[in-house]
Chains A and B, each alone.
Chain A
Amino acid sequence: LAKTTQPISMDSYEGQEVNITCSHNNIATNDYITWYQQFPSQGPRFIIQGYKTKVTNEVASLFIPADRKSSTLSLPRVSLSDTAVYYCLVGFNYGQNFVFGPGTRLSVLP
């Protein structure tokens, strides 16, 4: 059974680095891991996607270990505007199923 888990909530202070981990079992060799940010009354907004090792873009980094049973989203130097819910989305069974994690509510404090 495809399942993903994430911490329910995290607190951080402005300027700190935040790492959010998603655990996922039974991921197939061709399936990707994607992270999203969601604000109230809006759709999930794409942050980053990866398949293995490390991916970096202008806003985040994604670390995926060799066994691919987890992934870690890293947000460098968060600001108040990064307060949101963060979701991992994992493809399972070679793109036949897509499972969101329960979401991590990040609160950035001044």
Chain B
Amino acid sequence: DSGVTQTPKHLITATGQRVTLRCSPRSGDLSVYWYQQSLDQGLQFLIQYYNGEERAKGNILERFSAQQFPDLHSELNLSSLELGDSALYFCASSVDSYQPQHFGDGTRLSIL
């Protein structure tokens, strides 16, 4: 158990809809990262937050947004969903950008 909790584990929705994925980091970790894993693109970095502030941005679409709250949990919001957004979404946390990231078990998003 990595100590990173992601909910829900599975999400099934339709094209055009909006969903929110939630992540609770390990106790003591200030940094949260979001990744997308798909068969064709592999594991792709989306965005990082550190203590509530956006720290780094990767291949995140404009339809996607994230935030980190004062209690350090984070949410990833995906809107105007398309079939191609079907993927596993992982959250990871670490003490800071130079310490190992520890991953949750992901949210599997299926778009019908």
Contacts and interface: CB of A to CB of B under 8 A. Distances in A.
Q: Do A and B come from one complex?
A: yes
A30 B98 CA distance: 8
Nearest to A30: B98
B97 interface: yes
A81 interface: no
Contacts of B103: 36, 43-46
Given A97-B45, A103-B42, A46 B102 contact: yes
Indicate the size class of the contact surface on chain A.
Answer: 20 to 34
A97 B90 contact: no
Given A43-B105, A43-B106, A49 B100 contact: yes
Interface residues of B, number: 24
A57 B98 CA distance: 18
B44 interface: yes
B36 to A, nearest CB: 11
Interface string B74-88: 000000000000000
Contacts of B58: 97-98
Nearest to B97: A95
Interface string A35-48: 01000011111100
Given A43-B104, A97-B58, 8 more contacts: A34-B101, A43-B2, A44-B43, A46-B100, A91-B97, A96-B56, A98-B56, A100-B44
Interface of B: 2, 4, 33, 35, 42-45, 48, 55-56, 58, 90, 92, 97-106
Interface of A: 30, 32, 34, 36, 41-46, 49, 87, 89, 91, 95-100, 102-103
